[in-house]
Structure 1
Amino acid sequence: MAGVSDFANTNTPEKACITVPCGHILIATKWRNTLISNSLQGIKPVYEDNLGYLDFQTGHHMGVVYATEADLVAQAGLRRKLAKLRKANNVQILVLAEKTTSTAQYYQQLQKFVMLELGFSMLPVPGQAEAAGVLSQMVLTESKMESNPFLKKRRPPNLDEALLTTVQSVPKLGAVKARKLLEHFKSLKAINEASVHELSQIIGKAGAQNVRDFFDFPTNGTS
């Protein structure tokens, strides 16, 4: 199987962008013969020892970090890794995190760290098979910039789907109100900084309080 050196003359992907041919995905060798790699459909895996902090690379724009249930519970190591990727700032980062009944409370903590403090995208997946479906879709749409919901550079009024997913995760908010908030405030940071009064003008008092409770929830450590 070809290695990454056959595709681009680069260092590790957190230091330099790697050009990956259409229809291929770079996969850290630790994921070989796992459910996530075996469930990929319609794309060609290339296993690589030198992906650095990334678990997958779907193209030269996008790197993916996969957070398991164990990663969500013991977040310190995962946060350090993500912070190092943020400093490199050479590829867009998507975090796929296993959100299950047992990790829901930890997911919320990580979600705000990833999206508010680091500015990365984050999507919940129930397990590796579903994550493989997301990865396959990313690779298959990599060359179609306008139709790729995982790339951040989109023309208005389209909204980043990962960002919308984050806002929708606020309890009892729903897709319609989440979209209204993003259309009005434009960014997750602005929503986070808005007062209950400002939020209530868009989604009502009850929804505004739910949003404030969500963003005021502690993000350091685990509960």
Structure 2
Amino acid sequence: MTTKANFPAAAGSVVVPYGHVVGNEKWRGSEIAQRLQGKIKLIFEDGLGLVDFHLSNRICILYISEADLVAGDDFKRRLVRFRNANSLGGIVIVERTQISDQYFIAVQKLVVLELGMVLLPVANQGEASQLITQLVREQSKDHNSNPFLRKQCSQLLEASVFRTVQQIPGVGKTKALLLLQQFGSIHRLCNASVKELELVVGQTVAQQIHTFLCS
């Protein structure tokens, strides 16, 4: 079911009816919209700006396609503008394909380490639609207090941070776990000195981490 509704378009003021998703008009007729139909109630709205889909009044999705990654840095500016301008919880869905894979680590670093947002890779729009459907259905299990999305986003962020830290040169699963246990937050890790890092992972890896995070 796809309808049109005149909801407020300003960030943070979009009204999302229970059981619905509000999508940016630009996605009308897309594969992701077609796959969502019949699974959830999708409403298209003009003027959502940087946001692609609102799952609730406070949680939204920004979608970065393979074409966006290959085209240049416009998507980076979009993400930074969103984070600087909104208090909304943003989930960034990124198409990770054979073509876009070379850009993925840099995107992880920006989204998770620098902007503190949740990043979820998908292979295509079909996989993205399944992910959105899952999030909406889980949210609907307890829509009165709606604790799921807060908990879900926290869990997704932790997993996303853990995967991203593993991508730092010289850091694998074990060192990533040690680093996050030691520093407690990604903000503290990014601001740690080489000497502080050395106590956890040794001099060589500490320098690699510091160079990666400060570059």
Q: Which amino acid aligns with 1:3?
A: K
Residue 62 of structure 2 aligns to a residue whose secondary structure is strand
Counting helix residues as a fraction of each chain, which structure ranks higher?
Answer: 2
| Alpha-carbon offset, residue 126 of structure 1 | 1.9
Matching residue of 1:122: 119
Residue 130 of structure 1 aligns to a residue whose secondary structure is helix
Distance 2:34 2:174 in 1: 36
Q: Which amino acid aligns with 2:23?
A: I
RMSD across aligned C-alpha pairs, in angstroms?
Answer: 3.1
Pick closer, same or farther for the CA change 1:192–1:90 going to 2, 3 Å: closer
* Contact 1:170–1:214 (Cα < 8 Å) also in 2: yes
| Alpha-carbon offset, residue 200 of structure 1 | 5.0
Pick closer, same or farther for the CA change 1:208–1:57 going to 2, 3 Å: same
Distance 2:130 2:204 in 1: 36
1:3 aligned onto 2:1: no
Distance 1:134 1:206 in 2: 39
Distance 2:152 2:116 in 1: 13
* Contact 1:150–1:160 (Cα < 8 Å) also in 2: no
Matching residue of 1:98: 95
1:22 aligned onto 2:24: no
Matching residue of 1:112: 109
Distance 2:120 2:170 in 1: 18
* Contact 1:181–1:191 (Cα < 8 Å) also in 2: yes
Pick closer, same or farther for the CA change 1:87–1:4 going to 2, 3 Å: farther
| Alpha-carbon offset, residue 56 of structure 1 | 0.8
Distance 2:157 2:25 in 1: 34
Pick closer, same or farther for the CA change 1:210–1:98 going to 2, 3 Å: farther
The aligned runs of 1:1-223 (5 Å cut-off) are 1-5=2-6, 8=7, 10=8, 12-14=9-11, 16-40=12-36, 42-142=39-139, 143=143, 144-146=146-148, 149-152=151-154, 160-170=158-168, 173-175=171-173, 177-195=175-193, 198-199=196-197, 201-202=199-200, 208=206, 211-212=209-210, 214-216=212-214, 218=215
| Identical pairs, percent | 34
Q: Which amino acid aligns with 1:123?
A: L
Residue 96 of structure 1 aligns to a residue whose secondary structure is strand
Q: Which amino acid aligns with 1:32?
A: R
Distance 1:45 1:126 in 2: 22
Distance 1:172 1:102 in 2: 25
Pick closer, same or farther for the CA change 1:212–1:91 going to 2, 3 Å: same
* Contact 2:112–2:160 (Cα < 8 Å) also in 1: no
Distance 1:185 1:175 in 2: 16
| Alpha-carbon offset, residue 19 of structure 1 | 2.8
Distance 1:25 1:134 in 2: 13
Q: How many residues align?
A: 208
Distance 1:196 1:101 in 2: 35
Residue 70 of structure 1 aligns to a residue whose secondary structure is helix
Name the structure, 1 or 2, with higher relative contact order (CA <8 Å, separation 6+).
1
* Contact 1:54–1:65 (Cα < 8 Å) also in 2: yes
62-71 vs 33-42, which deviates more? 33-42
Distance 2:173 2:131 in 1: 20
170-179 vs 22-31, which deviates more? 170-179
Q: Which amino acid aligns with 2:97?
A: T
| Alpha-carbon offset, residue 80 of structure 1 | 2.3
* Contact 1:75–1:110 (Cα < 8 Å) also in 2: no
Pick closer, same or farther for the CA change 1:213–1:83 going to 2, 3 Å: closer
* Contact 1:138–1:148 (Cα < 8 Å) also in 2: no
Pick closer, same or farther for the CA change 1:148–1:105 going to 2, 3 Å: same
